[in-house]
Amino acid sequence: MREREHRWPAGPVWPREPREIALLIQTSNEWSRAVLRGIARFAKERGGWTFHLEPGGFVDELVLPRNWTGDGAVVRLTDERLARALRSRRLPAVNVSWLRRHSKRIPKVVADEAACATMAAEHFLEKRFRHFGYVGPVRSLPYSDTVERTYVARLREAGHDCDVFRSTTSDVRPNIASLRRELTDWMRDRATPTGITVWNGEWGRLLTTVCSELGISIPHDVAVLVVEPDPLMSALSPVPLSQIDRNGERVGFVAVEWLERLMLGFPAPEEPVLVPPLRVLEAQSTDVLAVEDEIVRDALALVRRRLRGPLSVADLERELAVSRRVLEHRFQRSLGHTPAVAIRRMKLELGCDLLLTTALTIEEIAHQLGYDQTATFVRTFRNAYDTTPGRYRRANART
């Protein structure tokens, strides 16, 4: 069930007495901390909430304290022991991890795996890559293959194969030296240029390190996109990593919103609640277009430099000293769309970023993007995303 389609039924008002919630979520990576920030925002808005939280890492065992007598839990449901503990205490709980299946007893509120995979595939297809790879989690981790399956299927639908790497190790915490050797062997056989989607930031950092050691240029020979964002791993990589903004704060907010309703006696959702990703946060690791046409590459570079302010196809013609007919033909042959479409898409992507990361008004954003009238920006945005800029900002608010 897509989260944005849900409408809450009328129900009783939450009582004013304090409620204590166990947060059995790792705190070692940015994704989990984003989920926790969303929970904190919900609690601040409601008031009267306190939390039990024990900082932990990815492979740490998450345990419900034996003598804890709280009211509910938001959990990364890692194993059956934790599930049994929640059931035995009849504790309302919501799972925010892709691990384990959805159930009415412990429903899931998670980032939409299939939508993340599709966004990754579209990112590389729009950049005209013809060779693709996917680096997934170790086989010992019981994650579903939804991201891999959807990513591969979308690429095949577009007429491309995808080479999938999975380490042969059976350890939850793999030996990094051994993993590095496996990735090195796998990368030696890659055709270039290739776009590779990686399941998390730690492995994205390792992959770019291997590429650097092999003399493989990033992003020109290999472009790397990470599904689970991690700014720290990006900072430690040879080049900054492009990442999918999975909207972790929204996941946390919606998860505790559902937990509140479970504690009030409302039924759990029939299906997992899926929060769609926001966008690709592009950095150097995918900042390239896999096209041979030099004019198209130069035109797109010019558009990137001049996203703020007015920009037309005529401006591209004049700057590049080519006719409109030549420019239109080169774009259609290389990208399958016109220069005007490219300008509009790139400006709207910047507009989305400004809506979510600044306090600029919609009028100010429209002006920065070079629109003469705010109404034109709003209409263009609605045609592209099936929503208005204001609704987009409110639906994905982070503070």
66 and 155 in a single domain? The answer is no
63 and 130 in a single domain? The answer is no
pLDDT at 275: 94
Q: How many domains in the chain?
A: 3
pLDDT at 16 > cutoff 70: no
Q: C-alpha 188: how far from its chain's center?
A: 28
DSSP notation for 334-347: HHSS-HHHHHHHHH
Q: How confident is the model at residue 3 (pLDDT cuts 50, 70, 90)?
A: low
List, for residues 194-239, the tens digit of each pLDDT value. Answer: 999 999 898 999 999 999 999 998 988 999 999 988 888 999 999 9
| Stronger pLDDT, 67 or 397, i.e. the higher one | 67
- For 190, what's the count of Cα atoms within 13 Å in the CB-facing half-sphere? 31
160 and 263 in a single domain? The answer is no
pLDDT at 54: 79
What is the C-alpha separation between 265 and 301, in angstroms, rounded? 55
What is the C-alpha separation between 141 and 171, in angstroms, rounded? 8
Q: Which of 32-41, 45-54, 307-316 has the lowest mean pLDDT?
A: 45-54
Evaluated on CA atoms 389, 394, 396, 399, the torsion sign reads: positive
Is it true that the peptide bond before 339 is cis, omega within 30 degrees of 0? no
pLDDT at 20 > cutoff 70: yes
pLDDT at 170 > cutoff 80: no
List, for residues 116-126, the tens digit of each pLDDT value. Answer: 999 999 999 98
List, for residues 239-282, the tens digit of each pLDDT value. Answer: 999 999 999 999 999 999 999 999 999 999 999 999 999 989 98
Q: What is the pTM of this model?
A: 0.78
233 and 266 in a single domain? The answer is no
Identity of the residue numbered 326: V
336 and 365 in a single domain? The answer is yes
86 and 103 in a single domain? The answer is yes
Closest CA to 146 of 280, 272, 6: 272
pLDDT at 15: 52
Arithmetic mean of pLDDT over the chain: 87
176 and 237 in a single domain? The answer is yes
Domain holding 357, by residue range, is: 294-395
What is the C-alpha separation between 268 and 106, in angstroms, rounded? 8
52 and 198 in a single domain? The answer is no
List, for residues 340-352, the tens digit of each pLDDT value. Answer: 998 998 899 889 8
With a pLDDT cut of 90, the percent of the chain lying above it is 51
Q: Are strands 131-135 and 163-165 parallel, antiparallel or unpaired?
A: parallel
